[in-house]
Structure 1
């Protein structure tokens, strides 16, 4: 690896301000006491950055915090050879440049004193007040946990507990990690890789969710250099080639300035370079980079309405690339981000991406919750008392953060929490769907109705039997799209619970943890299928409420060779007497009973898992036990009015209860209905199938064969 690849700080990054020389600050910090009427030179940069955002800030408390931190850490050195005081100074400077308020900066200066020096929390409380003490204590609790691989789950559980009470704790932690990543090259390569991996998996996504893009982007580049040095070096070379050349975005920016000036719109038009990881992603997406792909235009205006005025002028005077348009002002991202995104074609066919936002939007886009000041009005317990009804009520306690706290309380196993946390943070975007009464639900891309059910109803979602998406009946496995309206249908039977199949459709930790917890607590309890109920006809019979049976139900009437084991009928082929059946041993020693011709049986044989013999239980007179059973039938028909009502009437006439039903969209005037039915007696199945075939328009009724996991 080249020296530049090993140290991203060595590559020119076209920053808005030069990085402070911390070695020089370290020397300044050791020059001894200064007159009481002025700040030490070492903290002067922090004071200047703080006053740029907060002109009326009282710097006295920062002076006192610095004096305590410097005297406490005096004699301590970092592995890089710098005096230790340079670390809290650098962390505080990062936060000051982002616009953090005075209390956060004070806690940042002191964040290592309780952990690494003789200073106690009582001293911090006495000299700086309860709020600073609270923040220092929160950061200290994070530092006391080992960051080894085995400790990661518990580390981040504690991190989120602290963060949930005050997001400023996480802000300090992120700035702390950024400075450590900047100086990571003094450590062994294997330790660099381990720290970079944790940063990539958890801290960068958390920075994204807190909206702190300035920290996120630099952390991404630093991690990129360590974990993918070849890709980093290639990207560095590409950026180096265009650095110093005339920027192809410059003439487009001039045209935009002229257009807006002539339209009477006061706006600032800037060229915003992409950071290394952004360039790398665009290159992977497009294969070959365009000259304008190394940056974007940023248009800053005064008011929200001006954003749309700018958009109108750009789309009028330039050729817009409509597929690139996104409105994050009307529908902000989950991390507070607001902007209009578009792309226009400039001179000679050059395409320029454009971001349009107000100055305040830009501040929040860069600094996220850090830019929002003190969220709890000098009351560190207020966060525990605030229960926002939606994500806009308290932007410093966004909905995703509240959900994380709920998950960590529900997932008693740290490894389960760690797995679900990483899976959730790996989602690169969210969708917005609308639940009952217009409630807005933020879900990860790819989320299903199962996820929406738990997001809206919590543990009541255990009784969900189906959904309507945009007014149409849908299965719980239906994947939702941005802007969908979802109505969840709940059964009155509150004692029932979910099916294991729901886990195949759950993307959110909230849903997965809730389902897994219920199944663990009720190993033998029945549960609903992951399908929606039949749409009842307005003037026809109403389907019977679903019976709660999991994976086809327990086989009370099947005998399996070998030691006595729990048995259940397979949900994929729903065997009933007189089907020829075999058993497959699954995890935990239980046996799932399948029809002989079920594809799952063939798959198990192919991988060397031999089935076990099984047969239907016989009564004393030699007849087979044909007790109540569950079966899935597929009806193929030509589409016509009242078809669904007539089919459900035929089913009801046969005394069968509809557990679940789906109707696929018509294709060439043909409709496919799938019903999971509960029969009082398996002997009635042939008559039921005949009755369904007799319905006008139905040309075939057959037993279903669903793919399923067999454990």
Structure 2
């Protein structure tokens, strides 16, 4: 079905009216179904015809048996519209059949509400139709509100997405189910319509986009648009009606293109592809008043990939191309399997005609996405294992793998629901590579940073990240990655580092945000203080370290560095916000599990004292112990400054745990180093050596101000 030819309100009619007539016929036939054994019931004749158009040799007996079970199970049930309930699974299955879904998907679609709404059990479905159909039906079966309460909807989506991870056809059925429900939403109360429309907008439409099911996506967009923005929708429809009242100006352009291609002896089909309602609205917002060619695009269909480029060459030779509009999604397909050439050319009177060029096979995938691919683990129906029918597995694209990974770390339904919407709001994907031989490429959303790459590569081990190289050059964790970048993550060898709160600002993916937030929360619970007091103010990068929820191991020298008066056996930890070392004046604060020691002038200590927190006297065991410290070097920017500073650090035995170079401001630059020194007594000498580096005019100890 062409989404562009229909509208949510039914005013652009032909196909929508035909669909309603078909559904009425299906409903009457469902009630008066044939009792003849072995004969295809009248109610599914239309469905069978649609299925046979895509799969001529498909076995229809399974569909017959599935329909008879569904009709018997739903008999006596009615929708709010008054129609027999069986019209809903029939309509959902017809949607999928017209998209080219194979028999297993259609069987499960006919049965998709039986386990949820009737006495039919999942075991019965499995016994009668096999484990595959059982898995699909189970995947789309909602969880009961009586058991889950307000969490039922997010947990149902979680269940569906996990099932989709092993078989993408689960989500195909859900999308078709939501489309039919949206088509018939007019019987619901306005507030319920709006709630369902918002969930459709935030979750189902992005999923349809990611699975490449454009036919469903565009109609869902128009249906949501009509409910949530009725005035804008009506305005766009009015413009479309006015445009359709006369001859389409693109028809003449299409004929010119046909002539060019005939002369070049390129066999091609040239059709006008009308924009759907929301697309017209978006185009009007982008361009202002719409021109005669803005209501549609030319679609050119050819047989082979090479023909696509031959067509492109003729168009750019015989017409004046708009180069900025050219995109090659054949050489570089979109993350949702979409392939086409996009271009545009001047078509007279200053108007621009947009063109899509693709093969028939690309067109099938562009319209139906993963539905057109059917079962990714089997050859095409009727091909008996022929190699020609084998398909690449579409069930685990990068975005789905990320989603399945991070949802395991989000036990709370609200966290999952928020993270899911945020994840699906990402537009587009990039691929980044590792430096190590054999490192698998990472699929990340556009706009992802080095923090996201760290957690995508290492999971919770990324807590111990201390640096990153992008394309061979040192970079900060906030660096936004581009498609094709090479990323090498530097990890603390002993797991002593941990995430900084700033990482939450840099993370674009839930796969990064959830474990970072979990780590920070666990540190607050453990120490009774914000995690900022345990992590230096330097920006770190991505890599391996202690798991979330577990404290990074303290360095042995810290355990022995200080002693609390009156409690010599207390567990002591030196605060990472001010990194105290002998002979600093220090104070202790009781936290869960021990005592945290701060410098007396540390802003965190000042804040806690002002809040009435009790302090404990602390003394140093020795003036000569190993320590960890964070230093700021203020300098005038110049070449080789970083190399000279790191050389000075190495000469004094300082191990660099993390480093950051902030962007220059007015030719001044700040370097921040978190260091481990073998002897705290050597800190003054080290700071003097750093000040002697040409260009450096100040070196200070770090002490982070609390928000």
Structure 1 and Structure 2 fold alike (TM over 0.5)? yes
> What displacement does 1:246 show?
3.0
Change beyond 3 A, Cα 1:504–1:201: same
1:319-360 deviation per Cα after TM superposition (whole angstroms, max 9, x unaligned)? 333332222222222221222222222222212222221111
1:418 has 2:417 as partner? yes
- Aligned equivalents of 1:576, 1:353: Cα separation in 2: 67
Q: Structure 2 vs 1, CA of residues 214 and 583 (structure 1 numbering), >3 Å: closer, same or farther?
A: farther
Partner of 2:339: 338
Whether 1:531 aligns to 2:540 is: yes
Q: Which residue of 2 aligns with 1:651?
A: 649
Distance in 1 between the 2:291 and 2:560 partners?
63
Q: Partners of 2:592 and 2:9 in 1: how far apart?
A: 51
* Cα pair 2:690 2:699 within 8 Å, conserved: no
How far apart, in 2, do the equivalents of 1:456 and 1:406 lie?
A: 12
SS in structure 2 of the partner of residue 291 of structure 1: coil
Decide whether the 8 Å contact of 1:576 with 1:631 is kept in 2. Answer: no
Deviations 1:335-391 (A, max 9, x none): 21222222222222212222221111111111111111222349xxxxxxxxxxxxx
Q: 2-side partners of 1:271 and 1:185: how far apart?
A: 31
Q: 2-side partners of 1:105 and 1:342: how far apart?
A: 37
- Answer yes or no: is 1:347 the counterpart of 2:356: no
**Structure 1 unaligned residues grouped into runs of 5+:** 1-6, 379-391, 534-546
Secondary structure at the aligned position of 2:136 is classed as helix
Q: CA deviation at 1:242?
A: 1.7
Higher mean displacement: 183-192 or 163-172: 163-172
Change (3 A) 1:650 1:93: same
**2:567 matched residue in structure 1:** none
- Within 2, Cα distance between the matches of 1:480 and 1:580? 43
2 CA distance for matches of 1:257 and 1:39?
44
The range that moved more, 431-440 or 307-316, is: 431-440
SS of structure 2 residue aligned to 1:9: coil
Q: Displacement of 1:28 after TM fit?
A: 2.9
Structure 1 residues 222, 628: closer, same or farther in 2, change over 3 A? same
**Cα–Cα, structure 1 residues 68 and 460, in superposed 2: closer, same or farther, change >3 Å?**
same
Partner secondary structure for residue 32 of structure 2: coil
* SS of the residue 2:697 aligns to: strand
Distance 2:427 2:42 in 1: 42
Report if the CA contact (8 A) 1:584-1:611 is conserved: no
Say whether residues 1:445 and 2:443 are aligned partners: no
Q: Is the 8 A contact 2:465 2:540 kept in 1?
A: no
CA contact (8 A) 1:299 1:356 kept: yes
Residue 315 of structure 2 corresponds to which residue in structure 1?
A: 314
Alignment partner, residue 430 of structure 2:
431
- The answer (yes or no) to whether the contact 2:93–2:110 under 8 Å persists in 1 is yes
Q: Aligned-pair distance for 1:439?
A: 3.4
Matched-pair contact (CA < 8 Å) for 2:562–2:572: no
Q: Describe the superposition over 1:483-502 as per-residue Cα deviations: whole angstroms up to 9, x where unpaired.
A: 32222223332565433432
Mark the CA change 1:614 to 1:472 in structure 2 (over 3 Å): closer, same or farther. farther
Q: Matches of 1:505 and 1:611 in 2, distance apart?
A: 31
d(CA) in 1 for partners of 2:339 and 2:49? 28
User: Which position in structure 1 is the counterpart of 2:509?
Assistant: 508
Residue aligning to 2:185: 184
Shift of 1:238: 2.6
The reply on whether 1:240 has 2:252 as its aligned counterpart is no
Residue 432 of structure 1 aligns to a residue whose secondary structure is: strand
Q: Is the 8 A contact 1:558 1:615 kept in 2?
A: no
Contact 1:147 1:155 in 2 (8 A): no
Shift of 1:685: 5.3
The alpha-carbon deviation at position 425 of structure 1 amounts to 0.8
Deviates more, 1:48-57 or 1:368-377: 368-377
Larger displacement relative to structure 2 (200-209 or 77-86): 200-209
- The corresponding residue for 2:407 is 408
Q: Which residue matches 1:662? A: 660
Q: Which residue of 2 aligns with 1:8?
A: 8
Q: What is the alpha-carbon distance in structure 1 between the residues aligned to residue 160 and residue 626 of structure 2?
A: 54
Distance 1:556 1:320, change over 3 A: farther
- When the two structures are superposed, what TM-score results if normalisation uses the length of structure 2? 0.81
Which residues of 2 match residues 335-414 of structure 1 at below 5 A? 335-377=336-378, 394-414=393-413
Deviation at 1:40, TM superposition (A): 3.0
Residue number in structure 2 paired with 1:492: 493
Deviates more, 1:248-257 or 1:675-684: 675-684
1:173 aligned partner: 174
**CA 1:361/1:706 → structure 2, altered by over 3 Å: closer, same or farther?**
farther
User: Taking structure 1 as reference, are residues 682 and 276 closer, same or farther at Cα in structure 2, changes over 3 Å only?
Assistant: farther
Give the corresponding residue for 2:201: 200
Q: Give 1:692's match in structure 2, choosing from 685, 690, 693.
A: 690
CA contact (8 A) 1:582 1:596 kept: no
Whether the aligned pair in 2 keeps the contact of 1:616 and 1:625 (CA below 8 Å) is no
Deviations 1:418-448 (A, max 9, x none): 2221110111222222234463322112211
> 1: distance between equivalents of 2:117 and 2:541?
58
Task: After superposing the two structures, state which structure 1 stretch, 84-93 or 73-82, moved more.
Answer: 73-82
Partner-residue secondary structure (3-state), 1:632: strand
Question: Which region of structure 1 is more displaced relative to structure 2, 132-141 or 95-104?
Answer: 132-141
Question: Aligned partners of 2:289, 2:356: CA distance in 1, in Å?
Answer: 22
Q: Is the 8 A contact 2:581 2:680 kept in 1?
A: yes
Deviates more, 1:158-167 or 1:497-506: 497-506
Q: 1:109 to 1:708 in 2, by over 3 A?
A: farther
Find out whether 1:135 has 2:133 as its counterpart: no
- Are 2:101 and 2:371, in contact at CA under 8 Å, matched by a contact in 1? yes
- Provide the C-alpha distance between the structure 2 equivalents of 1:595 and 1:319, rounded to a whole number of angstroms: 73
**1:53 deviation in Å?**
0.7
Please give the alpha-carbon distance, in whole angstroms, between the structure 2 residues aligned to 1:279 and 1:585: 63
Counterpart CA distance in 2 for 1:368 and 1:252 is 29
Moved more, 685-694 or 89-98: 685-694
- On the 8 A contact 1:298/1:354 being kept in 2, the answer is yes
Instruction: Say which is worse superposed, 318-327 or 519-528, in terms of deviation.
Output: 519-528
Residue equivalent to 2:547 = none
Alignment of 1:208-227 (within 5 A): 208-227=209-228
CA offset at residue 624 of structure 1?
11
Map 1:588-603 → 2, pairs under 5 A: none
More displaced stretch, 670-679 vs 204-213: 670-679
Contact 1:145 1:155 (C-alpha < 8 Å) held by counterparts? no
Deviation at 1:93, TM superposition (A): 0.4
Deviation at 1:449, TM superposition (A): 0.7
Q: Secondary structure at the match of 2:349?
A: helix
Pair 16,330 (structure 1): closer, same or farther in 2 beyond 3 Å = farther
1:294 aligns with 2:303: no
Alpha-carbon spacing, 1:279–1:681, altered in 2? closer, same or farther (3 Å): farther
Indicate how the Cα distance of structure 1 residues 260 and 669 shifts in structure 2: closer, same or farther if over 3 A, else same.
Answer: farther
Query: Partner of 1:10: helix, strand, or coil?
Result: coil
Aligned 8 A contact 1:476 1:532 in 2: yes
Tell me the residue number matched to 1:3: none
Q: Label 1:610 to 1:162 Cα distance change in 2 as closer, same or farther (>3 A).
A: same
Q: Contact 2:464/2:495 (CA < 8 Å) preserved in 1?
A: yes
Other-structure match for 1:536: none
In 1, distance between residues paired with 2:142 and 2:241? 42
What is the aligned partner in structure 2 of residue 701 from structure 1? Answer: 698
| 2:253 pairs with 1:252 | yes
Contact 2:143 2:155 in 1 (8 A): no
Q: Please give the root-mean-square deviation of Cα atoms over the aligned residues, in Å.
A: 4.2
Shift in Å at residue 689 of structure 1? 3.8
The answer for the alignment partner of 1:54 in structure 2 is 55
Alpha-carbon shift at residue 477 of structure 1 (Å): 1.8
- For 2:613 and 2:486, the matched residues in 1 are separated by 48
Q: Which sections of structure 2, spanning at least 5 residues, go unmatched?
A: 1-6, 380-390, 543-551, 565-569
- How many Å apart are 1:135 and its aligned residue? 2.4
| Distance change >3 Å, CA 288–CA 429, structure 1 → 2 | farther
Quote the Cα distance in structure 2 between the aligned partners of 1:495 and 1:664.
24
